[in-house]
Amino acid sequence: MQRAANTALHGCAQAGGPAVFSRCFICRVTASPWQSSRAYGVIPPPRDPEEKEMLHRILRVDHAGEYGANRIYAGQMAVLGRTRTGPLIQEMWDQEKKHLEKFNEILAENRVRPTALLPLWNIAGFVLGASTAVLGKEGAMACTVAVEESISEHYNSQIRALMEKDPERYIELLNIIKEFRDDEMDHHDTGLEHDAETLPGYWLLKNAIQLGCKAAIYVSQRI
């Protein structure tokens, strides 16, 4: 009640007031990334070329990762879409579509160039998804476990780096990455719950895919 009165008085952005602060200094309400209340978008205007480079690298590689994930699920659906596993894959794909949409939006807002390798990830992602799905449900799930574990670890390392630098300054980007990281971990767990580990050669396949993910992450930050 008190907080409601306060928000009405000081025009907290959370109550529809002026969009200035992410975290209101009076009522301590923090805006969610989906209803950003900063004067700027998800990332702050870079202070110097170094910060700009750092943020652009983060956004470029995350966009590439979500793009690749979408292509993987598209490949899985092309093979298993009409089977009993179809709806499960579709559900994860739908979340990936939202992740990609968000990064598309952030890249456009901040004029961040996407990786030049998108055409490659387009094909490689689809082929990876489809070829593992040909091995059956377990193959698709093994691929999902491998990829989602890599993406979760990648997001975790970004979260650590941004937290070390300035958690307040990057709060909105951190919130988005954390939310997506949680979704990726759910996908990973879904893969395990649906027999990924029963695939013959599971560890070999998983390691090979994760090696590919590491290489993809490395080059997508730079090219």
Least separation in angstroms between CB 18 and Fe ion: 33
Least separation in angstroms between CB 217 and Fe ion: 13
Q: How far apart (Å, rounded) are the C-alpha atoms in residues 29 and 168?
A: 14
Angle between helices 118-134 and 49-80 (to 10 degrees): 30
* Choices 37-45, 51-59, 99-107, 109-117; region in contact with Fe ion by CB under 5 A: 99-107
148 labelled ligand-binding: yes
Binding mask 204-223 for Fe ion (x = CB under 5 A): --------------------
Closest-approach residue to Fe ion (CB): 99
Interacting residue with Fe ion among 187, 196, 206, 217 (CB under 5 A): 187
Interacting residue with Fe ion among 24, 184, 196, 213 (CB under 5 A): 184
> Half-sphere exposure of 197 toward its Cβ, with a 13 Å CA cutoff?
5
Least separation in angstroms between CB 145 and Fe ion: 11
Q: Kindly determine how many residues on this chain lie close enough to bind Fe ion according to the rule CB under 5 A.
A: 7
Torsion of CA 174, 53, 107, 116, to 10 degrees: -130
Q: Does 188 bind Fe ion (CB under 5 A)?
A: no
Cα Rg, the chain, nearest whole Å: 20
Tell me whether residue 66 or residue 172 sits nearer to Fe ion (CB atom): 66
Tell me how far apart the terminal alpha carbons of the chain are, to the nearest angstrom. 52
Q: Does 96 bind Fe ion (CB under 5 A)?
A: yes
Q: Where do runs of H (alpha helix) occur along the chain?
A: 2-10, 49-80, 86-109, 118-134, 137-165, 171-193, 202-222
* Choices 70-78, 91-99, 112-120, 193-201; region in contact with Fe ion by CB under 5 A: 91-99
Question: 23-30, long-range: CB within 8 Å, 24+ apart, which pairs?
Answer: 23/168, 23/171, 27/3, 29/3, 30/171
Least separation in angstroms between CB 4 and Fe ion: 36
Least separation in angstroms between CB 184 and Fe ion: 4
How many Cβ atoms sit within 10 Å of the Cβ of residue 91?
A: 13
Q: Which residue has the tokens 């300035």?
A: 166
Q: Does 149 bind Fe ion (CB under 5 A)?
A: no
Q: Which residues pair with 23 in a beta bridge?
A: 30
- Name the residues that contact Fe ion, by CB under 5 A: 66, 69, 96, 99, 148, 184, 187
